[in-house]
Structure 1
Amino acid sequence: MAHDTAEALPLPPLPDLSALAPSTAALVLRLNAIGAGEAPILASMYRHLGYWPGYLALAWAVLAPLDARAIIAAGQAAAREEARALGSLLPPQMPPPPAGVLPALGAFTSDAIGRMVPLCAILRRVSPGLRTAYASP
């Protein structure tokens, strides 16, 4: 990676949704609904960005039209398919988890992580400082 972790600022504490201004909290929830199912996990990224409501508004301006045109859903489906294909190439490393773990793991990987990977890639692409600081090798 091109970034230097020594220069990175630490993340501020994760604010509770109720600690944000009502308009910011509403925007966090609207952004969180992009690409989500009926009962989405609240992505911590949007709460962290609650310190910078202007950036949240820009994120909404970028992501909402893509969501309306089903581009985000297509990106999420492509990312899931690629992950499945790559995962099938790996030898099993661990025994299967206990049955109760599978639903939680599935919800987290398919909802929270599965939808945030394409969204974060889009936001990195449209954020010039992030695009260069965290460029892939």
Structure 2
Amino acid sequence: MVGGGQESTAAATTVQKTDAQWREELTPEEYHVLRQAGTERPYTGEYWDSHTEGVYQCRACGAELFTSNEKFDSHCGWPSFWAPLAEGNVRYIHDRTLGMDRIEVRCASCDSHLGHVFEGEGYGTPTDQRYCINSVSLRLVGKDDAGSGSEG
């Protein structure tokens, strides 16, 4: 099971801001998803069908979370990855909301909600896992954009 079936606290939260600071820095949609564990509508996010090479960062704090190398087409309406960039970059919480039993994925640096991870769905990926992540939780730094300064 993901995270050994336990809540993972491998990396301590390093980015700590007040609710007012988050509300000021994030758009209403970003705040709803990242800070209130909301979900964007399927097939509406910026990256659900993206094939651009690069690194996906947390939109709230900039931590590197996933890469295009692990992204795959799951046809679920949200960006899907078969593994995070590094296990310590995300943390897991057992989520029993909405009458479901799921594993929530959060940014280990700022504790922002990213999405959920599912196992055993039969996708032909190395891990048989699907990290179903909200586009609004991510910012893609394209391979060609890396190292080009703050342009973008």
- Higher relative helix content: 1
The structure with higher relative contact order (CA 8 Å, sep 6+) is 1
Give the alignment's TM-score, normalised by structure 1: 0.26
- Higher relative strand content: 2
Larger Rg: 1
Give the alignment's TM-score, normalised by structure 2: 0.24
